[in-house]
Structure formats: C-alpha cells, structure tokens
Amino acid sequence: MDSILVTGNGPLDGQIPIAGAKNACLTLMPATLLSEEPLTLTNAPRLSDIKTMTALLQSLGAEVTTLQDGQVLAMSSHDLDSHVADYDIVRKMRASILVLGPMLARDGHAVVSLPGGCAIGARPVDLHLKALEAMGAELELKEGYVHAKAPGGLKGGVVEFPLVSVGATENALMAATLAKGTTVLKNAAREPEIVDLAQCLRKMGAQIEGEGTSEITIQGVDRLHGATHPVVTDRIELGTFMLAPAICGGEVECLGGRIDLVEAFCERLDAAGVSVEETEAGLKVARKNGRVRAVDVVTEPFPGFPTDLQAQMMALMCTAEGTSVLEEKIFENRFMHAPELMRMGAKIDVHGGTATVTGVERLKGAPVMATDLRASVSLILAGLAAEGETLVNRVYHLDRGYERVEEKLGNVGARIERVQGE
Ligand code: UD1
C-alpha cells in the first residue's frame, strides 16, 4: 500500500488547478440510467471512486467510455441487462445507493445492496428509502439487499425529509423526474452538487424548480433525453488546497475556485487572519505574517461550514494562536484524525461531537495512519506545517477523493512524495 512522505515546509507559492467535484460526479453518473440516450460529463475528476461508479454502471449494462485522460465520461444506458447492484461493488462506496432511484424510475424495479458500515458513523439509508416510498415504491429488505418495485411506475408525492440529507435528496430528485405528476421535496439539501444535478437533469428534459433552496418541485415527464454537462468545481478540494498556504504561509491561487462554493469556510479563514481574494482565474489565498488566530467551527449542511473540511480545518487550528472549539454536527465519530494529529504534538481534547484544540507553535513530524478520505489529507496538511518528516500510511483513502495531490502540492513548493507500497 502506498504512503505519502511530507517534509515540513516554508511558504508556498504558485497556482493549483481545482478538479471537478467528486460528489457531484458520483450523482451525475447514475443520472445516465434515467435515459436511453447518451449522457456525457466533462470536467470529471480522475479518482478511484469514479472508477468504482463506472464499474457499477457497467455491471448494470451501461456503457461508460473515458476520454481525454479520464476528464470526459461518455455514458449510454440504452439497454440495461441487470437491475442488481451487487454487494461487492456497493460495499466499496456508499454513493452506490444513488443508482436505486434512477433504475426504479425508469424500469419500475431495482435490487440494490445496502452499503453497510462506514468509518464515520452509522450512516443509514432510511431517508432514501422513505422518499421513494412516498413516491409509491414498494420496498422489501432481504438478505442485505433492498428489493424495490413500482409496478405502474413511480407517482409524484410530497417528501418531507426529517433531516437534511444530500444523498437522499439526490436519489429522490432523480426518481421524481420520471414519476407521474408533481413531487415536492421539503427540507431538501441545498448543496452545490444538488444544484449541479438539477441543472444537468434539466438539460436532459426534466422539469425542476427550486434547486439550491430547501423546497424543490419536480414535474414528472415521460422520458429524458441525452445531454452534455460539465461537472461543477470541487469545493472540498478547493477548501483543502486553500488551507495549504494558510498552514505553510505564502500565496496560492486556486484556479477555478468560486467564493459562492465556500463562503462559510472563507468567513472562518478571514476570522483566522488568512486573506482570500477573488481573481479572474479563481481564488488567491495568502498568509503573510505570524500564526493564524484560533477560530471556532460548527459543521452544518450547506450553506454552513462543510463537514468534509472539518478535519483539514482542525489541522490549521493545531498551530493557531489560542484555543478553538470544533463542533461536528453532521456525522458522529468523525474525529478519528484527532489522535493521529496528537501523535504529531497537537493538543486536542475530544468529547462526543466536540473537539477543543489548543494551538502549539510547531507540530512535529511522525508516522501516522489515514483513517478516511478527509482525515488523510488533514494529516498531509499537518505534515506540511510540522518540523521534520511525516509519513502518512494507508493513503488509498486519499486516492478516492484527491487527484494527483502530491503533484498539485509539489508544484507550489511543498516537499511531498509518494512512496510506493509493496
Ligand atoms: C454526502 C457526501 C459526503 C458529505 C455528506 C454531508 C457524497 C457522495 N457524499 O454524503 O462527502 O460528508 O454528504 O455533507 O456526496 N442520514 C440518515 N439517513 C439517511 C441518510 C443520511 O440518517 O438515509 C444521516 C447521516 O447519517 C448523516 C446526515 O444524515 O448524519 C447527513 O448525511 P447525508 O447528507 O445523507 O450524507 P451523504 O449523502 O451520505
């Protein structure tokens, strides 16, 4: 298994191109199952999670061709020869559940394995299932699989989510495009990835209003047609790389970055004393003098501070002046990076969903273990701010969500290299 070796750094300088969003791409890809005509995605990120979704779609009979070095995904679901999403693929990636709504909406039946446990809490899929039931789906759970049927097709209905779920909103939105009549999704997620999905579905002929607000209304249509759609910028990759100059000092321009994707995050950076400036090509981040100030963070659904940037923000707070309180409100058990950061000399106290971080002047390099995707990159950021060498082990998590991280950081002056595993 590969590792990443990071050596503590001075200031960074240069530009980092930001890729298309993993989480948007993982919901746009299953949208191909809604139509018999081709769907082409441009600006796709080159990540192992995208390969997993490709394998899942292919296992259902969809054609997926990668062009331009993986940045274009040409998909066609003319004939589906299977409606079974197998455990062997689904267990690798929770987002696999997103094939359920589209298959059911198009052909009236689907069998999808339950995703199973996950390192960051229980993460059930009950909200996905309840939303589809509200549209007339008949569901049965048997031997770890959801068996779904909608013999006369799905019917529009009112779906009121008891809590905001990105994935459940996506599944319901896709299913509703082909349901008979009108569907209203209340307390819907407002994430940019939902807006991107709605825009793509509209290009395919769907009738949708209200995406980006908490109430989305969908008027079902008989069929969807083909389309070409560029994947929105990855706001989590953007936020992660914006933290690199915040931690090391210097100035980095993140190409393709947009403030509206990361507003709550930028507000916290500003409070910490890190400057963010909009440029023609993206966002320029600079920290010129002294340590950053400690700031408190509460994770919330969009437009709040994203849970997917909590671990990386904690890495910054480890060397801030003062004490910060980070409250994780989306997922239980999402502080597994804390003990690893403590191996590097960080002072962190975790109590339930709250972590109190007292900044130290300098972290010290150490061998550490990546426990999940965002945790692994937080350890890389911490390594850049540490004295000496940090070896981040088990980086396969990292490859699920970050494209060529060592190259992108290396190009702005970071001392980082991949150590090939056996
Ligand atoms: C998506 C993102 C993930 C991000 C998360 C929150 C993808 C592929 N992943 O995950 O990176 O961290 O949004 O921004 O887009 N819940 C239930 N029942 C359900 C579904 C969710 O109780 O059926 C709970 C979850 O356990 C969690 C909360 O709802 O506590 C929010 O989860 P959700 O928004 O659904 O996250 P994902 O869509 O899985």
Q: Residue 422 has which token pair?
A: 């056996």
For residue 94, which atom of ligand 1 is closest to its CA?
A: 39
Which of 170, 194, 313, 330 to mutate to test ligand 1, by most ligand atoms within 8 A of the CB atom?
330
* Residue 254 C-beta-side C-alpha neighbours within 13 Å: 29
Query: Domains of the chain by range and CATH?
Result: 3-19+233-419 (3.65.10.10), 22-230 (3.65.10.10)
For residue 123, which atom of ligand 1 is closest to its CA?
A: 26
Catalytic positions, please? 118
Residue whose Cα lies nearest atom 39 of ligand 1: it is 167
Q: Which of 28, 22, 26, 33 is nearest to 76 (CA)?
A: 33
pLDDT in tens, the chain (422 residues): 889 999 998 899 999 999 999 999 999 999 999 999 999 999 999 999 999 999 999 999 999 999 999 999 999 999 899 999 999 999 999 999 999 999 999 999 999 999 865 555 567 899 999 999 999 999 999 999 999 999 999 999 999 999 999 999 999 999 999 999 999 999 999 999 999 999 999 999 999 999 999 999 999 999 999 999 999 999 999 999 999 999 999 999 999 999 999 999 999 999 999 999 999 999 999 998 889 999 999 999 999 999 999 999 999 999 999 999 999 999 988 999 999 999 999 999 999 999 999 999 999 999 999 888 899 999 999 999 999 999 999 888 888 889 899 999 999 999 999 998 87
**Start-to-end CA span in the chain (Å):** 6
Cβ-count burial 294-308 (b if 16+ within 10 Å, e if not)? bbebbbebbebbbbb
CA dihedral 199, 200, 202, 207 (to 10 degrees): -80
Please tell me if the CB atom of residue 26 comes closer than 6 angstroms to any atom of ligand 1: yes
Determine the Cα–Cα distance for residues 156 and 136; give it in Å rounded to an integer: 8
Q: Residue 200 has which token pair?
A: 């793509």
Please tell me if the CB atom of residue 123 comes closer than 6 angstroms to any atom of ligand 1: yes
* Residue 54 C-beta-side C-alpha neighbours within 13 Å: 19
Tokens 């209340």, residue located: 186
Q: Name 242's Cβ contacts closer than 8 Å, sequence gap at least 6.
A: 252, 254, 257, 262, 265, 269, 276, 283, 285
For residue 24, which atom of ligand 1 is closest to its CA?
A: 15
Q: For residue 155, report the distance from its CA to the centre of ligand 1, in Å.
A: 25
